[in-house]
């Protein structure tokens, strides 16, 4: 169902986030993430005027991960920033992501290593959403997400079950699509 019709309004700002996942020839995966901010109108910053329609931020982060969702490479680039010569010097700090697991304590580790003055607010925010992007990229490619029929049944419960409202084990969706894993309501 779409959002309700808004009251009359005028666009002032657009933030865009895009993450592309690539399977590499060497068996690793790259997640290329970008965050950008654009104002509709001209703005004056402490560092100077920015014409409307141009980037205030255009920041990129690439992590390379293995099949176990561990980061084996990381780099950051700042192509448009509000304080050129200052904001765009933080990229090397994001190599601190190397060695982290996207599925074990990732967000806490980012906070410890790159929050506040230790990193760029926008790149660190972008990094926070990489775990779910990686899971989506791996789904049905690296991670089996479907409980098959017959001989190809998964030995373990599909990873996505019990991770959201619709896929709780007592949910009708699980009863319909993953009946082997469904917990039936207790008889009263």
Residue 151 has pLDDT above 80, yes or no: no
Residue 52 has pLDDT above 70, yes or no: yes
The DSSP-derived string for 36-88 is EEEESS-EEETTEEE-TTSEEEEEEEEEEE-TTSBEEEEEEEEEE-SSTTTGG
Q: What is the reported pLDDT for 105? A: 97
Q: What is the pLDDT of residues 73-88, one digit of tens each?
A: 999 999 999 999 999 9
Residue 150 has pLDDT above 70, yes or no: no
| Separation between Cα atoms, residue 70 and residue 27, nearest integer Å | 13
Hey, what are 15's tokens? Answer: 């933030």
Q: What is the reported pLDDT for 185? A: 76
Q: How confident is the model at residue 154 (pLDDT cuts 50, 70, 90)?
A: confident
Residue 136: count other Cβ atoms within 10 Å of its Cβ. Answer: 14
Angle between helices 130-138 and 121-128 (to 10 degrees): 40
Residue 131 has pLDDT above 90, yes or no: yes
Q: What is the pLDDT of residues 85-127, one digit of tens each?
A: 999 999 999 999 999 999 999 999 999 999 999 999 999 999 9
Q: What is the reported pLDDT for 140? A: 83
pTM: 0.87
Q: What is the reported pLDDT for 17? A: 98
- φ and ψ of 90, to 5 deg: -85, -10
3-state secondary structure of 3: coil
Q: What is the pLDDT of residues 7-48, one digit of tens each?
A: 999 999 999 999 999 999 999 999 999 999 999 999 999 999
Q: What is the reported pLDDT for 147? A: 64
Q: How confident is the model at residue 148 (pLDDT cuts 50, 70, 90)?
A: low
| Separation between Cα atoms, residue 19 and residue 133, nearest integer Å | 7
Q: What angle do CA 117, 118, 122 make, to 5 degrees?
A: 75
Residue whose token pair is 């561990």: 70
| Separation between Cα atoms, residue 104 and residue 39, nearest integer Å | 37
């Amino acid at each position: 169902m779409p959002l309700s019709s808004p009251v009359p309004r005028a666009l002032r700002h657009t933030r865009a986030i895009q993450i592309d996942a690539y399977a590499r020839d060497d068996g690793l995966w790259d997640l290329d993430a970008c965050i950008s901010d654009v104002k509709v109108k001209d703005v004056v910053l402490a560092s100077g005027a920015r014409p409307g329609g141009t980037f205030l931020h255009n920041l990129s982060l690439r992590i390379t991960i293995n099949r176990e969702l561990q980061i084996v490479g990381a780099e950051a680039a700042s192509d448009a920033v509000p304080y050129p010569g200052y904001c765009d010097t933080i990229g090397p700090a994001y190599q601190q992501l190397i060695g982290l697991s996207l599925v074990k304590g990732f967000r806490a580790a980012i906070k410890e290593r790159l929050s506040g003055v230790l990193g760029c607010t926008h790149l660190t925010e972008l990094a926070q959403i990489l775990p779910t992007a990686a899971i989506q990229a791996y789904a049905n490619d690296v991670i089996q997400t479907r409980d098959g029929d017959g001989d190809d049944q998964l030995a373990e419960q599909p990873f996505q079950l019990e991770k959201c409202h619709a896929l709780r084990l007592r949910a009708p969706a699980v009863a319909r699509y993953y009946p082997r894993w469904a917990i039936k309501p207790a008889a009263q």
